[in-house]
Amino acid sequence: MFTKFDEYELLELFESEPSFIGPEEAGLYMYSKLNRNGIQLILIVSVYEYKCTIVFAINEVEFFEAKLKNVEYLRREGDCLRIHRTDSANDYLIYFFHNFYMKIEN
């Protein structure tokens, strides 16, 4: 088993292809997007370890980081990315409007 996501959906949200951390077979993807206000969103997905890291940064200085375990799937819902975990009733939602924002939904 592994964390499920559609690479095409993430390509559309991040408007770029992922980088691979290590060999591609390791399943460690890194997506990054810079918005017009200079805020960078970085998403690292470790598909075989069921882990996901969300980072927000300005000028390469991180001001927020969340490390999630037991990530079952990532799914695009319009301009939003839903991150669902198997061990929690709460989903993490990242919105890709003019400014990025994140909320936890239960």
* Average pLDDT of the chain, as a whole number: 93
The pLDDT value given to residue 1 = 74
The pLDDT value given to residue 97 = 84
CA distance 39 to 41: 7
75 in a structural domain? yes
The pLDDT value given to residue 28 = 94
CA distance 90 to 104: 6
**Domain housing 39:** 7-105
Hey, is 76 helix, strand or coil? strand
Q: How far is CA 99 from the centre of its chain?
A: 15
The pLDDT value given to residue 29 = 95
Judge whether residue 23 has pLDDT over 90.
Answer: no
1 in a structural domain? no
2 in a structural domain? no
CA atoms in the 13 A half-sphere facing the CB of 74: 27
57 in a structural domain? yes
**Count of structural domains within the chain:** 1
